[in-house]
Amino acid sequence: MTSHQPTGSTGPSGPTGTVVPAASTGTRLDPWYGSYSARTHGMRASEIRALFAVANRPEVVSLAGGMPNIADLPMGRFADTVADLLRTRGTRALQYGSGQGEPELRTQITEVMALEQINAHPDDVVVTTGSQQALDLVARIFLDPGDVVVAEAPSYVGALGVFRAYEADVVHTPMDADGLVPEALDELLTRLAAQGRRAKLLYTVPNFHNPGGVTLSLERRPRVVEVARRHGVLILEDNPYGLLGFDGDPLPALASFAPDDVVYLGSFSKTFAPGYRLGWALAPHAVREKLVLASESAILCPSVAAQLTVSAYLTQFDWRAQVKEYRLMYAERRDAMVGALAEHLPTCSWTTPEGGFYVWLRLPDGLDSREMLPRAVTSLVAYVPGTAFYADGQGSTHLRLSYCYPTPERIVEGVRRLAGVVNAEADL
Ligand code: PMP
């Protein structure tokens, strides 16, 4: 076996027996510094992660994280289902499985997607370890360093992290109260093409946007698809919240308009629970094959135990009723948050989401959400500064508030504390 030494520390013996000196690229704290790929040097800890340590203290009202509230799941009955699965199909559940995912779960996933008018075949579904892994796989098969990804302004922080890891160049396109603006997208793609830069992906969260809180209107959906198609840009439709609308039926997915032009990502994290880490990608046939190859090289196969467990949950429980309960709970929390904002923060403006987890708040002129954060944490309330959701440093005028996890009473208290901080800053 060959020995393995960091380039940045005193190295192994050279061919003549001399010791190779420490490379100048190493640091005292991390002697391996000079060995990382360029890609790795571009990785940064998300602002959310840095926050979790403080925000998790019980005295802090965290309006920062996006953890779903799963306290009301029927755990006792579910435990029986899991035990029964292991007793009856344990050797399958605990074995390796298909790289693409277990066929019965893929069939059930097509039934879930039918609620958004997607008519898919189980063969075109790839099960992933959360939709976060699906984001990674899509980036891995499409992006070379310097490739352009168009993403909404603002965008999901976890997707920006993936695009950065693959050294893509993220260019933001505006949203308004009806979501992504098709005309602005068209102009941006035309401008990029004139510069000789073809965007490879359009990354969009059409429903109950994270962090924007807005939803792409029904009327705009076919127009967004048309613009992307005309410019030859594949749409990456990331839709973990689509079934969590507070009123009315789910809107048809972009994938329902143009299955050949869209990679659609779904997740069980918010409609069931995130702990099993199950999501999926629905992709045009050739893309799907590449996704499976990429996933096999990354993880061999998603957890069979997790897949069979979620499959049993979907069969044996009234999961639609559970989703409805989630919707009612989150709607009550949304009401608590926007009610408290109206009462305590009239100097700010914000989006009023019709589903999902997030409010996007604009601070009064002159305030900076990142600079204000330490003061907020001292006042025992946490949020995510808007800068986390842009690839280009914008966002300091905004912040994201999540209402998914704290109780309505804690949400109101958190907003009251936030108002104290904002008002004190504004008076400075
Ligand atoms: N996309 C968006 C927009 C999200 O908000 C999240 C979770 N916060 C994910 C993807 C990843 O979800 P998961 O990996 O749990 O499916």
**Confidence at 330, pLDDT banded by 50, 70, 90:** very high
Closest C-alpha to ligand 1, atom 5: 210
Q: Which element (helix H / strand E) includes 151?
A: strand 148-153
Residue 319 has pLDDT above 90, yes or no: yes
Strands (E), 232-370: 234-238, 262-267, 278-282, 349-350, 358-362
pTM: 0.93
From ligand 1's centre to the CA of 410, what distance in Å? 24
Residue 240 Cα to ligand 1 midpoint, Å, equals: 6
Q: What is the pLDDT of residue 61?
A: 96
131 CA distance to ligand 1 centroid (A)? 6
pLDDT of residue 46: 63
Q: For 74-112, how does the pLDDT look when each residue is reduced to its tens digit (9 = 90+)?
A: 999 999 999 999 999 999 999 999 999 999 999 999 999
Kindly provide the ipTM of the predicted complex, given to two decimals: 0.99
Measured torsion, CA atoms of residues 300, 304, 306, 311, in degrees rounded to the nearest 10: 130
Residue 14, pLDDT score: 42
Other CB atoms within a 10 A radius of the CB of residue 47 amount to: 17
Q: Are 327 and 403 in contact (CB under 8 A)?
A: no
The CA-based angle 318-358-132, given to 5 degrees, is 70
Arithmetic mean of pLDDT, 328-344: 98
* Residue environment code for 7-38, b if the CB has 16+ CB neighbours within 10 A, otherwise e: bbbebeeeeeeeeeebeeebeeeebebbeeee
Kindly state if the Cβ of 130 falls inside 6 Å of ligand 1. yes
Radius of gyration (C-alpha) of the chain in whole angstroms: 23
pLDDT computed for residue 8 by the predictor:
41
* Model confidence pLDDT, tens digit, residues 275-305: 999 999 999 999 999 999 999 999 999 999 9
What pLDDT, on the 0 to 100 scale, is given for residue 47? 58
Question: pLDDT for 217-233, tens place per residue?
Answer: 999 999 999 999 999 99
Q: Is 274 in the pocket of ligand 1 (CB under 6 A)?
A: yes
Confidence of residue 21 (pLDDT cuts 50, 70, 90): very low
* 40 confidence band (pLDDT: 50, 70, 90): confident
pLDDT exceeds cutoff 80 at 19: no
